[in-house]
Each structure stands twice: as structure tokens, then as C-alpha cells.
Amino acid sequence: MRDQAEVLRRKINASKIARKARTIAIVSGKGGVGKSNFSVNFSLQLAKKGKKVLLIDMDLGMGNVELILGEPAKGNFVDIFKNGVTIHDIINTGTFGLDYIAGGTGFHEVFQFNEEKLNYFFVQLEMVIGRYDYILFDMGAGVTEINLAFLRSVEDMMIITTPEPTAITDAYSMMKYMCSFEKGVAYYLVVNKVWSKRDGEQVSMRIANAAKHFLQQDIQMLGSIVHDELVMKAVIEQVPFTVYDPKSAVSQAIVTIVNQYLGLSNDNVWTEQKEGFVDKLRTFFLKRK
């Protein structure tokens, strides 16, 4: 496997790939806020803008992404470690045109794998970093050691919350926790399941003001999504709601959020960092060994 990883690494270096995917972690402090549904529909609309998008389900063991898309996945993220497949073997291209990788069970064992297997995994990640414009990680709720490794390595973090007091508290706590580690991450906020636009604006301002005052951290407000029974109907039909009814208020809210994100993230302008996503992830994993 070491020889195979070395060959792949040389191919990547030789190709001098110009494209470098922007990495986005989509998180929530608690479950039940609609994070996975948002991840799928946001990714779909980003792809409709002509971007090359890969969505990776990191809510491991749940399989939410493939359920929302209504399509069985071929393999999952864990197969790279356990079965030695390439990352291209497990990328699914859905009916709706979105490339995605399903989650899987057993990823918590990653720190038990030897350095050779870990390096093979990093080489696989480097391959997709050069293939896509955006790679999104639908993270599981809470902060596990595995989640933390990915959260500390991405460029952008999108926090999904709702007007519920517990969801607001958990969203702020997530941001506070991450700010104690990483200062270079760009934070974005989406308020889901609001009853009105004003409701969403008030929640956004509360979190943004608290982050600025107590954490000295800016968070960009991307907007809100009004509660709509259509979302549940789409879930039951296993069709993303932006496909189920593109003209609905919730679908149009996603389009607006995508446009807002592209503007705020300075699309087409990639900042050079001392360490890229894969380098950061490699450092975190190998230090843990």
C-alpha cells in the first residue's frame, strides 16, 4: 500500500493541479436542526451555479445524506481505511447531479490505523482537493475527536441553528469551543425553521453580537429559512426540497444563502495558507498517533 500511495502522490505533484477546493464544515451544536437537509440542498444549489461540488457525510453511521437523496450509496468513507479502495471508487453521482460520499460505521477506529494506512487516506483526499471547487463535510452533532480534526482543518465553518433557546446556546458554545483552537476559520451562520424573516434576523444578531463581544470573532450572517411542511413532505418522498418544489419559499431561501455565501467568501479568490486542508489534517492525525 505504501508503494501505491507514493505513486499516487507523485502523480499529483507532477500534474501541478491549479484548482484547490475550498473546504466547508457544516455543523450544529445539537441534532434536529435540519443540518443534513440543509447540507444536501445547499450543495445542490452550489452545483447548479456551475461549481464542482463534493458532499461528504461525516454524520457517521446515520446515512442521512443518501436517505435525503433517496439513493443507495456504493461504499463509504470508512472503506478507504478498511478495504483499501480509492476515493473515486466511493464517490456517488446522484440523480440530481450532486457528487457525494456516504458515511459509515467504524470511523472512530481511525486513530488505531497505522501510519501507512493514514498516509494512503491523505493521498486520496489530495486527489479530490484538486478535482473539486468545494468540498463540504456534513458533520455529526457534537465535537468528537474525529470531528475536531476535520473542524480544525477546514477553511469555512457554517453553523446551522434554530430559534430554540437550546439550539442557540449550543451553536454559540460550538463557536466558542472552536475559537479556543482556531483563529483562521471563517464562520457563517444560518438560522433554520424560523417563523418569520424578523425572527431569523433577531436570532442571527444575538449570536453575532455575543460572538463579537465575548469571543472577538466575526460571524457572517447568511440568512434564515422559514419553517415549511414542504420540507417534511420532500423528506418522505426522499427528494431534496429544492428539487421537489424549486419555487417554494424554502428553496428560494437556499438560493439566496448560496449567493450570499459566494459573495462573502470572495469566490474566485483563494487565499494562500501556510498549511492546506490535507496538511492540517495530516498533522493532527499523526500527532495523535
Domain locations along the chain: 2-6+19-288
For 81, residues 6+ apart whose C-beta sits below 8 A from its C-beta are 107, 109, 110, 113, 117, 121
**Residue type, position 1, single letter:** M
Q: Which three cell numbers stand for residue 155?
A: 477553511
For 214, residues 6+ apart whose C-beta sits below 8 A from its C-beta are 176
pLDDT at position 15 is: 43
What is the CA 5 to chain-centroid distance, rounded?
A: 26
Q: What is the pLDDT of residues 233-260, one digit of tens each?
A: 999 999 999 999 999 999 999 999 999 9
Q: What is the pTM of this model?
A: 0.90
**Inter-residue contact 104 to 80 (CB < 8 Å):** no
pLDDT at position 266 is: 67
Q: How far, in Å, are 38, 142, 175 from residue 243 at the CA level?
A: 13, 29, 31
pLDDT at position 268 is: 40
| CATH H-level, domain 2-6+19-288: superfamily | P-loop containing nucleotide triphosphate hydrolases (3.40.50.300)
Q: Which of 64, 82, 85 is nearest to 74 (CA)?
A: 85
- Which segments in the chain show pLDDT lower than 70? 1-19, 60-62, 105-112, 142, 266-274, 288-289
For 197, residues 6+ apart whose C-beta sits below 8 A from its C-beta are 224, 226
**Inter-residue contact 207 to 192 (CB < 8 Å):** no
